[in-house]
A and B are shown apart, each in its own frame.
Chain A
Amino acid sequence: MGNSDSALISEKQLEIYQLETFFTRKEILRIYESFADLNPDKVREAFLAGNYQIKMDYGEVTQLSELKFSPFKDRICRVFSEDLSGDMTFSDFLDMLSVMSMQAPKDLKAAYAFKIYDFNDDGEIDRTDLDELVNRVTGFRMKTEDVDGIVDEILKECDMDENGTLTPAEFEDILQKAPEFSANFNIEV
């Protein structure tokens, strides 16, 4: 942390970031530090040249300690990157951490959680998505009959219009009743 680093992001830029995310100035600078640590030379060069759209590859982003071992790291990177490839710019990175910070409201988190858990990106969470979700959460250790049983239970509990899929609204409703959600859906840098 030094004055040289904070000069790489202009004041106007910092203000815009503060407007758009839930972070304060100090926190944005700290996040910049961890972003830069992923590949220091590349990032510093680019920012000095004024190129703020520099992208970090998926491989580099997942070096972040909070993402390294998470079973959802591919989905997180994909959802938050602009071109859905998993490569993130600094703005995407900030966006991701802002949504997954303590200050983000529950609805925003629920909306993004929906996107993360929608593995086939079709706008709804159906049986295949839920299968994949339960498998990832249990580390692929459960037998298929058990997984099917759990998916049945979940659909019974959540699916209000009983069409076999979860819409964003139903998903949000469920998460209202799961109080640990906002505490657990957090990544702090």
Chain B
Amino acid sequence: MDSEEGIVHSNEAAIELDTDDETQPILSKEDDLGDKGLSNDHAHLSTDRYGTFYPGPKTFTLSQRRVLRRTQRMQFKELQSGLRRKDQVSTKFTKFIDDSMKKMNEIQRNHFRIWGSSIKHIQGHLGSGVCTYFKVIVWLLKINLLCMILALAFIVGPGSYMANNHAQHPAQESLYNKDDLECTNPNFVNGTGFHHDAVDSVLQFLTGTGWMESTAMFYGWYPTSNLTMHVHGKEKTTYNFSLAYFTVGISYFFLSLLFMLYNLSKLFNKSAAEQFDTKPYSSKVFTWDYGVTDTGACEQQSVRFIQSLKEGMTEDAQEGVKREFSAKVGIVFLRIVTNIICLGAMVGTVYLYVNQILTDSSELQSTDSCGKLTQPLDDGLDIDLGNLTNTEIKENLSAFWSTYSASIIVSGSNVILPIFFQLVGTFEMYSFQSTMIGITLVRMFIMKLFNISVYLYILYIAVGPSGGQLEEWQTPDNTLIYNCWENYVASQLYQLVMVDFIVFCIALLCSEVLRSYLVTNISFLRDRLGITKPEFNIAEEILDLVHKQMIFWSGFYFAPLFPVVAVLEVIAIFYLKKISALKNVIPPKTVVLNHQSTFAVNCLFLISLLIVFVFMGLVIFNFHPSKTCGPFRESAWFSDPFSHVIKNSGKFKSYIVDSLKTTSVFIILVIVVCLVIYYYRSLASSRKVTIGLLRQQVKDEIADKKFLLDRVKVQDSNNNEDETKIEDLKKSTNLRKKELQRKISRAHGFAS
């Protein structure tokens, strides 16, 4: 076994370490066992055949035990430092990787421990299950911070520098035609645009239209020129801004992908090693959570233990719930109906907002060559609180609704549908509680994924006509074209983020704050109805995080300041959730906290990233950049700067890049990956077979041991019988000897 060989290795290492360490202020003189003393002592240690040291507590002196503990610690440290098994090749390269991984982990532990004390505080009150949710938030923060640093350093920084240097007037007025700027959003009617009143500005901040479009937030503001810098007066280096924008946009996704794959690979190892035969009772009893430090929380933990143990016992009793055939058919039918209802609910919400987005656009009239509307819109965004008549209120409300509806529907359905699914789940009469919970979670995940994917797809379609245009501004049949469609996409996503956050805050208020306030103050609810403070449902909350991160990822390309918004929102979520969790929430009853569930969570993130990947790929490589705004206005494709650079950098490089694009390279790569997978798979399956054989061997050994013990017992009892017989015989011979002696002495007496 691993540990056995590892300990054999480190045994020798430990002995060497000890003899080298001469100045030990911890040990006093009496502990000096000499050079060979320790190795001799090892022979007396009780090592069972697995090689684990177990110094009996009462058999050694204090000093011996102290020394033993030190060596034990050092052995385990050696183990931990990655001693490889004998059959693995340990080259310099693998050692280098091991060392660098260790260093990275150390640096991360020491310097990048974000919010460590808060998490520890939460763990003390609510246990390690809830703690994992907050650790996921920290992880998301790290990803978003990374993207933010990239964006700020390579895009926003140079962009604003260039803008400020090129203009004497505010940036937006001289970089491009003011007329062009008005073309970006059909709702943008007012020519002097940037001077709406306060309410308008706030609303526009929320929607990401109007004055927001001319800030660094969105794609449209960025210039297309290159930055030239003088280096010591001799050479001019150019910073190719459009190339930078494109590269950074692509690298967001690749970096996040790498980050996640790294985490996944670490977890997959552990999660696959988890055996399928779980031991329900022992794993509950032996895994007491030592991190819980609050007295109330400790008591709650005991109570939860009791509940879960009791549930385990009743579940065991219930295992064979046999149903009659007719009942089975009824239940299957019922479940089909409920599944259709759930699907219907999902499709219904999707339909609502799809309708909104597509009709929203088609209400507007056709545009002329610059996108100036030929018919004035109701400027729904102007809400004059002074005089409002009924019709005005109606108009304003309908305009309000038409702008915000899509985002409200998406965010609202995220909150309402889970409750709906739970209700449906209770009707379905599952025999186990855990299956019901599992199915509700699956439905929720599918719903969220479905929602966002359809939203992205609809955006893709809405922008299609605009993105497909290279020259013309207007298609023959007057479908609406956004002259800066990237801004439209970005502002829609920005809107979604804002509304989602507001809905999140409202939901938090209602479900946690309000409920716990009512429960603590109105005893009727607590005593009669048995309503308690809300339970912290870890899986649902994590799914919510997946949903939010998916929206963030989809917005990164078109809005360079989006990562900043993402970081701010993640920080806000952490603090809001933390405060609410500490006051208003009780820890969940059952916590399934194994590597398999963490692996599943990571997979969910990966799936959502891949969907965003597909969307971005479609948009970037299918659509032409718009002519009026952004760094790519002079290029026909987004990837143009990249291909320019390749072409200009010499024949060899362009040859390489061209050949990389051919299919043969792709096929070779696929074949190589398949071979590697096949190799590891066969290795894994052979190891599985070995494990099975070894298990069987253990069982046989136990049977052997029993058999031999029985035989020894039998022999012993035979032995005992024989011995008693011998004793008896001895006694009888002694007696006879004495008789004979008496007879002889009597005979002698007679003779004399």
Interface: A6 (CB within 8 A): no
Interface: B647 (CB within 8 A): no
Interface string of A74-118 (1 = CB under 8 A from B): 000000001110000001000100101001110110010101010
Q: Contact: B298 with A69, CB < 8 Å? A: yes
Q: Contact: B277 with A113, CB < 8 Å? A: no
Closest Cβ–Cβ distance, residue A106 to chain B (whole Å): 10
Closest Cβ–Cβ distance, residue B545 to chain A (whole Å): 20
Interface: B295 (CB within 8 A): yes
Binding-face segment, B20-28, B461-469, B528-536, B554-562: B20-28
Interface: B137 (CB within 8 A): no
Interface string of B63-76 (1 = CB under 8 A from A): 00110011001101
Contact of A20 among B48, B70, B293, B594 (CB under 8 A): B70
Q: Contact: A82 with B281, CB < 8 Å? A: no
Interface: B173 (CB within 8 A): no
Chain B residue with Cβ nearest A147: B309
Chain B residue with Cβ nearest A76: B290
Interface string of A163-189 (1 = CB under 8 A from B): 000011101101111111101111110
Q: Contact: A179 with B595, CB < 8 Å? A: yes
Q: In the assembled complex, which residues on chain A have CB atoms less than 8 Å from the CB atom of B76?
A: 104-105, 107-108
Closest Cβ–Cβ distance, residue A48 to chain B (whole Å): 15
Q: In the assembled complex, which residues on chain B have CB atoms less than 8 Å from the CB atom of A70?
A: 290, 293, 298
With known contacts A161-B705, A179-B595, A183-B593, A138–B302 Cβ distance under 8 A: yes
Q: Contact: A154 with B281, CB < 8 Å? A: yes
Closest Cβ–Cβ distance, residue A145 to chain B (whole Å): 11
A157 to B54, CA, bound (A): 23
A71 to B288, CA, bound (A): 10
Q: Contact: B54 with A177, CB < 8 Å? A: no
A184 to B593, CA, bound (A): 10
Q: In the assembled complex, which residues on chain B have CB atoms less than 8 Å from the CB atom of A142?
A: 306
Contact of B278 among A123, A138, A177 (CB under 8 A): A177
A121 to B511, CA, bound (A): 50
A153 to B303, CA, bound (A): 20
With known contacts A82-B62, A160-B702, A174–B286 Cβ distance under 8 A: yes
Residues of chain B in range 70-118 having any CB-CB distance to chain A below 8 Å: 70, 73-74, 76-77, 79-80, 106, 109-110
Interface: B708 (CB within 8 A): no
Interface: B320 (CB within 8 A): no
Q: In the assembled complex, which residues on chain B have CB atoms less than 8 Å from the CB atom of A167?
A: 48
A121 to B299, CA, bound (A): 27
Contact of A69 among B70, B293, B591, B594 (CB under 8 A): B293
A72 to B298, CA, bound (A): 11
A183 to B275, CA, bound (A): 18
A20 to B77, CA, bound (A): 7
Total residue contacts A-B, CB cutoff 8 A: 176
With known contacts A153-B281, A184-B290, A121–B58 Cβ distance under 8 A: yes
Interface string of B488-532 (1 = CB under 8 A from A): 000000000000000000000000000000000000000000000
A103 to B274, CA, bound (A): 20
Q: In the assembled complex, which residues on chain A have CB atoms less than 8 Å from the CB atom of B282?
A: 154, 157-158, 174, 178
Q: Contact: A83 with B62, CB < 8 Å? A: yes
Closest Cβ–Cβ distance, residue B191 to chain A (whole Å): 60
Interface: B279 (CB within 8 A): yes
A161 to B54, CA, bound (A): 20
Q: Which of B26, B77, B290 has the most CB of A within 10 A?
A: B290
Q: In the assembled complex, which residues on chain B have CB atoms less than 8 Å from the CB atom of A141?
A: 302-303, 306
A95 to B54, CA, bound (A): 16
Q: Contact: A20 with B73, CB < 8 Å? A: yes
Q: Contact: A133 with B285, CB < 8 Å? A: yes
Q: Contact: B128 with A12, CB < 8 Å? A: no
A168 to B305, CA, bound (A): 24
Q: Contact: B594 with A179, CB < 8 Å? A: yes
Q: In the assembled complex, which residues on chain B have CB atoms less than 8 Å from the CB atom of A157?
A: 279-282
Closest Cβ–Cβ distance, residue B314 to chain A (whole Å): 12
Closest Cβ–Cβ distance, residue B575 to chain A (whole Å): 21
Interface: B289 (CB within 8 A): yes
Q: Contact: B593 with A180, CB < 8 Å? A: yes
Interface: B443 (CB within 8 A): no
Q: Contact: B281 with A95, CB < 8 Å? A: no
A138 to B288, CA, bound (A): 10
Contact of B25 among A12, A20, A22, A68 (CB under 8 A): A12
Contact of A26 among B53, B77, B110, B299 (CB under 8 A): B110
With known contacts A105-B79, A139-B302, A185–B52 Cβ distance under 8 A: no
Q: In the assembled complex, which residues on chain B have CB atoms less than 8 Å from the CB atom of A174?
A: 279, 282-283, 286
Chain B residue with Cβ nearest A134: B285
Q: In the assembled complex, which residues on chain B have CB atoms less than 8 Å from the CB atom of A3?
A: none
Q: In the assembled complex, which residues on chain B have CB atoms less than 8 Å from the CB atom of A137?
A: 285, 288, 302, 305
Q: In the assembled complex, which residues on chain A have CB atoms less than 8 Å from the CB atom of B295?
A: 68-69
Q: In the assembled complex, which residues on chain B have CB atoms less than 8 Å from the CB atom of A82?
A: 62, 65-66
Interface: B698 (CB within 8 A): yes
Interface: B752 (CB within 8 A): no
Q: In the assembled complex, which residues on chain A have CB atoms less than 8 Å from the CB atom of B48?
A: 167-169
Q: In the assembled complex, which residues on chain B have CB atoms less than 8 Å from the CB atom of A121?
A: 57-58
Q: In the assembled complex, which residues on chain A have CB atoms less than 8 Å from the CB atom of B344?
A: none
Q: Contact: A138 with B23, CB < 8 Å? A: no
Q: Contact: B279 with A188, CB < 8 Å? A: no
Chain A residue with Cβ nearest B298: A69
Closest Cβ–Cβ distance, residue B15 to chain A (whole Å): 15
Chain A residue with Cβ nearest B283: A178
Chain B residue with Cβ nearest A187: B290
Chain A residue with Cβ nearest B310: A146
Chain B residue with Cβ nearest A133: B285
Q: Contact: A177 with B62, CB < 8 Å? A: no
Q: Contact: A13 with B73, CB < 8 Å? A: no
A121 to B54, CA, bound (A): 12
Q: Contact: B289 with A107, CB < 8 Å? A: no
Residues of chain B in range 680-729 having any CB-CB distance to chain A below 8 Å: 698, 702, 705-706
A139 to B595, CA, bound (A): 28
Q: In the assembled complex, which residues on chain A have CB atoms less than 8 Å from the CB atom of B128?
A: 180, 183-184, 186
Closest Cβ–Cβ distance, residue B392 to chain A (whole Å): 60
Interface: A144 (CB within 8 A): no
Interface: B325 (CB within 8 A): no
Closest Cβ–Cβ distance, residue B695 to chain A (whole Å): 10
With known contacts A72-B288, A184-B287, A184-B288, A172–B52 Cβ distance under 8 A: yes
Q: In the assembled complex, which residues on chain A have CB atoms less than 8 Å from the CB atom of B617?
A: none
Q: Contact: B80 with A52, CB < 8 Å? A: no
Q: Which of B46, B48, B281 has the most CB of A within 10 A?
A: B281
Interface: B291 (CB within 8 A): yes
Chain B residue with Cβ nearest A153: B281
Interface: B16 (CB within 8 A): no
Q: In the assembled complex, which residues on chain A have CB atoms less than 8 Å from the CB atom of B124?
A: 65
Q: In the assembled complex, which residues on chain B have CB atoms less than 8 Å from the CB atom of A10?
A: 25
Q: In the assembled complex, which residues on chain A have CB atoms less than 8 Å from the CB atom of B702?
A: 160-162
Q: In the assembled complex, which residues on chain A have CB atoms less than 8 Å from the CB atom of B123?
A: 188
Q: In the assembled complex, which residues on chain A have CB atoms less than 8 Å from the CB atom of B305?
A: 137-138
Interface: B294 (CB within 8 A): yes
A174 to B277, CA, bound (A): 11
Interface: B3 (CB within 8 A): yes
Q: Contact: B290 with A186, CB < 8 Å? A: yes
> 20 other contacts beyond A91-B26, A168-B52, with CB at 8 A cut-off?
A16-B26, A19-B77, A24-B110, A65-B124, A71-B288, A95-B69, A95-B73, A123-B56, A139-B299, A150-B309, A157-B281, A168-B54, A177-B278, A178-B283, A178-B286, A179-B274, A184-B128, A184-B291, A186-B128, A188-B291
Q: Which 5 residue pairs are nearest across A and B when measured between Cβ atoms?
A: A139-B302, A179-B594, A178-B283, A157-B279, A69-B295
User: B residues touching A (Cβ–Cβ < 8 Å)?
Assistant: 3, 23-26, 46, 48-50, 52-54, 56-58, 62, 65-66, 69-70, 73-74, 76-77, 79-80, 106, 109-110, 120, 123-124, 128, 270, 274-275, 277-283, 285-291, 293-295, 298-299, 302-303, 305-306, 309-310, 313, 591, 593-596, 698, 702, 705-706
What would 7 A/B residue contacts be, using CB atoms closer than 8 Å? Answer: A52-B25, A95-B73, A141-B302, A161-B706, A162-B702, A178-B287, A180-B128
